[in-house]
A = this chain, B = another copy of it.
Amino acid sequence: MSEEPTASAQLPPSGEIQNYSLTATTENWFEYPVRAYPYHSDYSGIVWHGRYLAWLEEARLEYLRSIGIDYAELVALGCELPVVELSLRYHRSVQMGMAVVVKTRMTEIAGVRINWDYRIQSVDGEELYLTGRVTLVAIDREKGKILRQLPSAIKEALVKRAV
């Protein structure tokens, strides 16, 4: 890994309280293909409703990776992005064996909250299986407190992406 991202990802100085309002919207959806294996399914032959959250996490972290942010490094730097809120609607069931696409984008950054929108669709885009939103905050691992501003690596990557 290059050193640049590490340097720019350093946490804000302690005590610094700074409000900012940034609306970053990724125009395009990031697409992450997955397949429903037996362990994703339940007795009814379809993916168990809670199992989708693993796919959403994978898609989110791969999207971050695609814009230069390695989540494990972020954690090593002292920042975590826990989920503080989520809502999901199950439109159609995904059967065991099916290949589908998880689409995600960050729709806005409202204060310290990062919102991610999701759609799970068939590969051909014809069927919609799930829509949802997951909200994260950035926290300082050591203090266990919400960061008043995102690590600069994330903010910059998002802004660049949002243009």
Bound together, the chains give a CA A46 to CA B144 distance in angstroms of 12
Copies in the complex: 4
Q: Point out the residues of chain B lying under 8 angstroms from A75, CB to CB.
A: 43-44, 96-97
Are B97 and A71 neighbours in the complex by a CB distance under 8 Å? yes
Are A39's CB and B42's CB within 8 A? yes
Question: A72 touching B49 by the CB < 8 A rule?
Answer: no
Bound CA span A83–B46, Å: 12
Decide yes or no: A42 and B44 within 8 Å by CB, A72-B97, A90-B82 being known contacts. Answer: no
Instruction: Give A36's nearest chain B residue, CB to CB.
Output: B72
Give the distance to chain B from A56, nearest Cβ to Cβ, in Å.
Answer: 8
- For the complex, give the distance between the alpha carbons of A93 and B80 in Å: 13
- A88 CB–B CB distance under 8 Å: yes
- Across the interface, do A73 and B57 meet the contact criterion of CB distance under 8 Å? no
Most buried by B among A37, A38, A97: A38
Interface pair B82/A49, CB less than 8 Å apart: yes
Q: Can you identify 20 A-B contacts, CB atoms within 8 angstroms?
A: A37-B54, A38-B42, A38-B44, A39-B50, A39-B53, A41-B43, A43-B43, A43-B44, A44-B80, A46-B82, A49-B53, A49-B82, A50-B54, A50-B57, A72-B97, A72-B98, A73-B97, A75-B96, A84-B90, A85-B88
Q: Which residues of A contact B (CB under 8 A)?
A: 37-39, 41-46, 48-51, 53-54, 57-58, 61, 70-73, 75, 80, 82-90, 93, 95-98, 141
Q: Which A-B residue pairs are the 9 nearest by beta carbons? A: A72-B97, A50-B53, A87-B87, A41-B43, A49-B83, A43-B96, A43-B45, A38-B42, A39-B54
